[in-house]
Amino acid sequence: MADLVKEFNDYRAKMNEKLLADDNKVIKRIFNLDTNAYMAGALDVKTKELLGLVASAVLRCDDCVKYHLETCHKEGVSKAEMMEAMSIATLVGGTIVIPHLRRAYEFWEELESINS
């Protein structure tokens, strides 16, 4: 089942490398900001990753959801915490979030299977 995670990470890594090798400076700086914004500050990393997860879910970006599920999992977010975050996303964003919730749940199960 771990194929979903590997496939996502491989494609993402391959294309990010190409984008960063391209000489568009605005894109490079957005990537750089994307790293800095989730570093510990007034809020801790775990909270920030949950914020990134919910923002991605209500905007219905599957790849962004996967990325933040992976970082949430690394930061020790529990399944119950992830589901509470996703339930707020589904309530605020509506039932159109449900198909993304299904795919998020499947991805989370895979993340747990890899690390167990």
Where on the chain is the footprint of a copy of itself (CB under 8 A)? Answer: 11-12, 15-16, 18-19, 22-27, 29-31, 33-34, 36-38, 41-43, 47-48, 50-52, 54-56, 58-64, 78-81, 83-99, 101-103, 105-106, 109
Q: Closer CB to a copy of itself, residue 64 or residue 75?
A: 64
Q: Give the residue among 14, 5, 16 at the shortest CA–CA distance from 103.
A: 5
Supply the minimum distance, in Å, between the C-beta of residue 68 and a copy of itself.
10
Least separation, in Å, of the C-beta of 102 and a copy of itself?
4
Minimum CB distance to a copy of itself, residue 15 (Å):
4
